[in-house]
Amino acid sequence: MNVAIPTLAENLHATNSQLQWVVAAYSLAFAGLLFTAGALGDRFGRKGALQIGLLIFLIGAALASASHSMPQLIGCRALMGAAAAFIMPSTLSILVNVFPPHERTKAIAIWAATSGGAGALGPVASGFLLGHFWYGAVFLVNVPIIALALIAGRFLVPKSKDPLQAPLDPVGAVLSTIGIVSLVYGLIQAPEHGWASSSTLTAFAIAVVVLAIFVAWELHVDEPMLDMSLFRNPAFSAGSGGMVLIFLSMFGVMFLITQYFQLILHFSPLGASVRFLPMSPIMVLIATQTPKLAARFGAHRTVAAGMLLVSTGLMMFRGLDAQTSYWYVFACIVPLTSGIAMAMSPMTASIMSAVPARRAGTGSAMNDATRELGAALGVAVLGSLAASRYSNSIDSVISTIPASAQAATKSSLAGAIDVARTLPPADAKAVTTAASQAFVSGIHFAVTVGSVLAAIAAAVVYRYLPHKATHESATEAAEHMAELGVGGTLPAFVNE
């Protein structure tokens, strides 16, 4: 979607606010409904939740491809985000309930590799489609893929659900939706409006209050939507915290380096996207091998080593300057992506191993929520750190240009480049050079903070993440059901 923003601005005459909301609408709907959708899948059937989500996503994508106004497109994006909230928890919870414990870690590794690698493929696909077709093609391309998934899922995906048919938690669902939407909204707004702005602080205040009420409610309800005792399990808490940091690093770096490619190295949007393409095969290759590494060296060592690689890759970005070649950037991407792939799969397995199979949808929703929160934090925190350093570094230069142009120059590198086009050649070169150097300085500051956080995370997961993810077997599930008063022997998955 980010690749398509310039095209939407041109063809649909979108305002900056509308461009922001076409991205934010999806994220807010997706994050806000994750826990509710995961709980509904556990209660009424995960296959049904997956199929319904795919169908709604297909409808949303088809309508988005035919959109002729930004409000219509924003509405379609929100619908697609709501559909994704049903799809993503269902995919992982189905794997947990279909595969026996000795195969589950490998299945989760393939799932993690696929979902991680797709993040690098998406921008390239969007850039290619926008170069050959109209903007609606980036949505319409989903329709045949989803149609195939619907048909295949009808015959290949078994049915499963919580055998206890636990009652729903509507109060928890409402509180989690309001709290998470407020938190993600605040993170989305912070880089543009400022961390101390009234809208940002209000969003964070609502998030803190509502999520505190949510925790209190979940602690006292008989069948909580999210069992708070899970956070006392190191596999769950360390895995969730580590996942946030991994996606913070991944999306924060992609956000900054995409601008570096386009505004400093002068690559096209498609050219910038293509240069991230190596992330995908690296992710798939490494992530699918992590079960072997975790089995041999332990999940805690594998994840810690991955975090150290992430820290190393981030620190290597400090070698960037305004004339750095792509190949140095590629050399930074290799350890960063390898580390993300090494850490992501074992942490996903740890999170899911801590959750009973009957509540796999909730566990999967938590995994997805940490990824979404990490992505939002990456753009908000690393982006804001880079912007702050840029603004401070450019101050000494803008005093020589007209006062009317100083604010735009200080606001961003793109603004400085636009201002430079209106200045005499000598002043234009001075402003462009200074702005480029200030932006690179901002990258240096942001990646240093990210590198330190990743190194700290490596120490934490090494200390607290369990050596091995111990998944619940069918026998253990049956014993658990018996303890709760449910008789009979349970198969690997329970048919509806």
- Which of 90-104, 138-152, 294-308 is predicted least confidently? 90-104
> Residue 66 above 50 pLDDT?
yes
Mean pLDDT of the chain: 82
pLDDT at 494: 35
Angle at 257 (CA atoms; ends 12, 412), nearest 5 degrees? 60
> Residue 473 above 80 pLDDT?
no
Tokens of 172: 């928890």
> Residue 178 above 80 pLDDT?
yes
Q: Which CATH fold would you assign to the domain 5-168+225-470? A: Growth Hormone; Chain: A; (1.20.1250)
- Which of 15-29, 38-52, 427-441 is predicted least confidently? 15-29
pLDDT tens, position by position, 274-324: 888 888 888 888 888 888 888 888 888 999 999 999 999 999 999 998 889
pLDDT at 143: 92
* Cβ atoms of residues 157 and 94 within 8 Å: yes
Q: Considering just the CA atoms, what is the radius of gyration of the chain in Å?
A: 23
* Cβ atoms of residues 20 and 340 within 8 Å: no
Distance CA 25, CA 33 (A): 12
- Which of 17-21, 305-309, 464-468 is predicted least confidently? 17-21
pLDDT at 77: 92
Q: Comparing C-alpha atoms, which of 85, 127, 125 is closest to residue 369?
A: 85
Between residues 336 and 270, the one the model is more confident about: 336
Between residues 87 and 105, the one the model is more confident about: 87
Between residues 491 and 416, the one the model is more confident about: 416
Mean pLDDT computed over 163-183: 84
Mean pLDDT computed over 473-493: 41
Distance CA 134, CA 138 (A): 8
* Cβ atoms of residues 35 and 170 within 8 Å: no
Reported confidence tier of residue 470, pLDDT bands at 50, 70, 90: low
Domain boundaries, the chain: 5-168+225-470, 169-224
Dihedral of alpha carbons 470, 471, 473, 479, sign: positive
Query: What is the value of pTM for the model shown?
Result: 0.80
pLDDT tens, position by position, 332-357: 999 999 998 888 888 888 888 888 77
> Residue 472 above 60 pLDDT?
no
